[in-house]
Amino acid sequence: MSVILGINTFHAGASAAVIIDGEPVVALAEERLNRVKYFAGFPKLSILRCLEIAGLTFADVNAAAVGRDSSANLHKKLEFALRNPSKLLNFARMRSKSKTFDDLKSLIASECDIDKEKLNFKTYNIEHHLAHTASAYFASGWEKCAGITIDGSGDFVSCLLSDCEGADIKPLQRIFVPHSLGTLYTAVCQFIGYPKYGDEGKVMGLAPLGTDVYSEFFEKILKQTSKGFELNHEYFLPFGANQGMEINDAGEMIVHRLYSDLFVKELGEPREKYTEITQRDKDVAFGLQRVFEKYYMRLLNLLHEKVPSERVSMAGGCALNSVANGKALIETPFRETCIQPAAGDDGLALGAALYVSNSLLKEGKRWTMENSYLGDEYSDTVVKTELDKYKIAYKKLEREELIDATTDEIKNGNVIGWFQGRMEWGPRALGNRSILAHPGFPNMKDILNARIKHREWFRPFAPSVLVERQTDIFEQDYPSPFMLHVYKIKPEWRERLSAINHVDDTGRLQTVARNENPLYYDLIKKFETKTGIPVILNTSFNENEPIVCQPFEAIECFLRTKMDVLVIGSFFCKKAGKD
Ligand SMILES: [Fe+2]
Measured over the CA atoms of residue 383, residue 56, residue 70 and residue 42, the dihedral's sign is positive
Residue 309 to residues 417, 476, 488, Cα–Cα distance (Å): 42, 20, 26
Which tens digit of pLDDT belongs to each residue from 566-576? 999 999 999 97
- In whole angstroms, give the CA distance from residue 553 to residue 396: 20
Query: What is the chain's Cα-based Rg?
Result: 23
Distance in Å, CA 244 to ligand 1 centroid: 14
Three-state secondary-structure class, residue 17 = strand
Which tens digit of pLDDT belongs to each residue from 109-168? 999 999 999 999 999 999 999 999 999 999 999 999 999 999 999 999 999 999 999 999
Distance in Å, CA 129 to ligand 1 centroid: 7
Distance in Å, CA 43 to ligand 1 centroid: 16
Indicate the helix (H) or strand (E) that contains 101.
Answer: helix 88-102
Taking the mean position of all CA atoms in its chain, how far away is CA 574? 31
Distance in Å, CA 325 to ligand 1 centroid: 17
> What number is the average pLDDT over the span 215-222?
95
Contacts of 465 by beta carbon, 8 Å cutoff, 6+ apart: 473, 474, 509, 510, 511, 512, 524, 534, 535
Eight-class DSSP state of 356: I
Q: What is the pTM of this model?
A: 0.95
Eight-class DSSP state of 453: I
247 forms beta bridges with 253
Does residue 88 surpass a pLDDT of 70?
no
- In whole angstroms, give the CA distance from residue 340 to residue 263: 35
For helices 551-560 and 380-389, the axis angle rounded to 10 degrees is 40
pLDDT number for residue 70: 81
> What number is the average pLDDT over the span 88-96?
56
Mean pLDDT of the chain: 94
pLDDT number for residue 238: 85
- In whole angstroms, give the CA distance from residue 463 to residue 521: 13
Distance in Å, CA 34 to ligand 1 centroid: 21
Distance in Å, CA 156 to ligand 1 centroid: 10
Which tens digit of pLDDT belongs to each residue from 235-267? 999 877 677 888 888 888 888 999 999 999 999
Distance in Å, CA 316 to ligand 1 centroid: 5
Distance in Å, CA 478 to ligand 1 centroid: 26
Which tens digit of pLDDT belongs to each residue from 480-498? 999 999 999 999 999 999 9
pLDDT number for residue 100: 60
Does residue 213 surpass a pLDDT of 70?
yes
> Which of 266, 203, 201 has the alpha carbon at shortest distance from 232?
266
Which of 19-33, 536-550, 565-579 shows the lowest mean pLDDT across its residues? 565-579
> What number is the average pLDDT over the span 548-557?
98
CB contact at 8 A, 67 and 352: yes
pLDDT number for residue 77: 72
Largest Cα separation within the chain, whole Å, is: 70
CB contact at 8 A, 77 and 84: no
Distance in Å, CA 499 to ligand 1 centroid: 32
CB contact at 8 A, 153 and 147: no
> Which of 45, 25, 44 has the alpha carbon at shortest distance from 33?
45
pLDDT number for residue 114: 94
- In whole angstroms, give the CA distance from residue 29 to residue 442: 36
